[in-house]
Amino acid sequence: MSLSRMKYMLAVALVLPAYAARAEPPRPSLEQRVQALEDEKEIRELLVSYGEYLDARDYKSYASLFASDGVWTGGFGSAVGPAAIEKMLEKNLGKPEPGFINKSNFHLMTTMVVHVDGDKATARSRYTFFTASPDNKPVPLLAGRYFDELVRENGKWRIKHRTTHGVIPYRNGNDPNRPPPPPGLSGALKH
């Protein structure tokens, strides 16, 4: 074998393992992949529960979806922590009468994309808020998107910070001088 051929083979032997290591990162274990799927499922269910609890005017369960220092910011301002969030909802929406059943509006949560990184996660999703028309048919009133930062707290996923942006009608969730909500939104959460 020639010296140049030997040099070539030595170079390939030295470079090939480094190239192969860069080409394929180590694959997560089956246990890690299952845990990621379970985390995503729990987060998606939390995002759906957000709308369900709000529609049911179950403010205590709604507020429990937030971390102990979780931040809610929306049409009523901002609140930090479950107790403050629950109090804010009661102040702005009123306490529901016993046996309350919401027959006038609801949230539809869609297109949830979740990224989990250990005990932290981010999610983006969309909502459509429906109300009853004068002839008692569901009519979309608002549409927007949520951006969430989540944390695992005491073994459960909780919202650390939620930012909402109205898309139709357009409203910037970070703008403190938001326009008033559209007619027909009285008694419902102003996203």
**CATH of 29-168 among 3.40.120.10, 3.10.450.50, 1.10.760.10, 3.40.1440.10:** 3.10.450.50
* CA distances, 52 to each of 56, 101, 174 (Å): 6, 12, 24
Q: How high is the pLDDT of residue 41? A: 97
- Enumerate residue ranges in the chain where pLDDT < 50: 181-190
Q: How high is the pLDDT of residue 182? A: 46
Q: How high is the pLDDT of residue 90? A: 94
**pTM strictly above 0.85:** no
Q: How high is the pLDDT of residue 185? A: 43
Q: How high is the pLDDT of residue 170? A: 73
Q: How high is the pLDDT of residue 187? A: 45
Residue 172: what residue type?
N
Q: How high is the pLDDT of residue 166? A: 85
Q: Which helix (H) or strand (E) is 108 found in, with range?
A: strand 105-117
Q: How high is the pLDDT of residue 26? A: 86
Residue 110 DSSP symbol: E
Number of helices (H), then strands (E), belonging to the chain: the values are 4, 6
